[in-house]
Structure 1
Amino acid sequence: MAENKDTQPSSFNDKTFSGVGNLIKLLPTGTVFIFQFLNPVLTNNGRCSIINKYMTGIFLALFGFSCCFSCFTDSYKGPDGVIHYGIVTVKGLWLSTNVEGVDLSKYKLRFGDFVHAFFPLIVFGVVALLDPNTVHCFYPAFESTEKVLMMVLPPVIGAISGTVFALFPCNRHGIGCP
């Protein structure tokens, strides 16, 4: 009976850490970090000219694409012992090199891939578009009129996304995932 008590918390801890691992794996932390690092430069600390607006818009689009694209990649360990990365397609995993003797059709695109791509995009969008420098640059009147929305929306979107990732973990091990 003492062994059962010891294994229950361990199993719970394993599930908890697994859920947190899935959350870290899927949220666009690297993309958000790079955006937070470059955003003050791109927006001129919120005092944008037309060039700053175009550059920031281009980087927002590129970083948003980065958040989604990573959800459509996967990897496997080949017969040669090397990890191969590829892009998930309707027919299976597409690789830049041919690997013989491996069934890549089991890596087919699924509905869950789109769900797992949508939520990181939304998280990044909320964090990036409600950043003070971005707000000052693109829509300065919004900050004074919608302060409550700017304070409440990021944690709510984060909690919803975190719950989805914890309840429906992704089994893809794409580019950037261990």
Structure 2
Amino acid sequence: MENDKVTSPSSSSSAEKKKEKVGMVNKTLKGMSDLIQYLPTGTVFLFQTLNPIFTIAGHCTEINEILTGIFLAFCATSCVFSCFTDSYVGSDALIHYGIATFDGLWPAPNSDNIDISKYKITLGDVVDALCSLIVFAVIAILDPNTTNCFYPEFGVFQKVLVVILPAVVGFFASTVFNFFPKKRHGIGRIPACYS
């Protein structure tokens, strides 16, 4: 005798909703993983770790909205700032870091064999910074805690964004980064000549 499991309409409806929710989460994570490669790892880790704390897992009070806004601005600034950092190997065989400026690397290299003019800010740096900012904004907007904090009634529209936005921004960012490849070895990246 076989045990046939009979499911009620309400349990199958509940299972379909659960399956749909899991599918949305999978799409969100896939889209975010494609985008996240364009951002500084430390900033993303900081955002993923502290955002649920600042937003109280998406249930913000007014003060939490302010703190979350400040935190998001800090993370966005970090993404942009990292696009203008670079490193070089000095004559002492150590890695030195600096900030790219219109004149070269600041602080000026303390090595005789370094041409600081090759470290000037270029159009590619500005485009890279703008794309990094856009990618971070998309990741922040698609984060459920941020969305629930600032836009709690955003649920239906979020489903459309989760499906479309990561693909569109990922394609845009990939295309732009192919035209303007990142040449800097900023903080946390080892210069190619050192490895």
Equivalent of 2:74 in 56, 59, 62: 62
Gap regions ≥5 residues in structure 1: 1-22
| Range with bigger deviation, 118-127 or 147-156 | 147-156
Name the amino acid aligned to 1:31.
T
- Name the counterpart of 1:170: 182
The number of residues matched between the two structures is 154
- Name the counterpart of 1:38: 50
- Name the counterpart of 1:108: 120
Aligned sequence identity (%)? 56
Equivalent of 1:79 in 80, 84, 91: 91
1:32/1:128 contact within 8 Å kept: no
- Name the counterpart of 1:92: 104
1:87-108 residue CA offsets vs partner (Å, 9 max, x unmatched): 000010011x761523312211
Aligned equivalents of 2:111 and 2:44: distance in 1? 38
2:124/2:181 contact within 8 Å kept: no
SS of corresponding position for 1:141: coil
Aligned equivalents of 1:161 and 1:100: distance in 2? 35
RMSD of Structure 2 on Structure 1 (CA):
1.9
**TM-score for the superposition, normalised by structure 1:** 0.78
Cα pair distance change 1:119/1:85, threshold 3 Å = same
Gap regions ≥5 residues in structure 2: 1-35, 191-195
Aligned equivalents of 2:109 and 2:87: distance in 1? 14
Aligned equivalents of 2:70 and 2:150: distance in 1? 13
Cα pair distance change 1:73/1:132, threshold 3 Å = same
**TM-score for the superposition, normalised by structure 2:** 0.72
Aligned structure 1 segments of 4 or more residues deviating by more than 4 angstroms: none
SS of corresponding position for 1:140: coil
2:43/2:75 contact within 8 Å kept: yes
SS of corresponding position for 2:126: helix
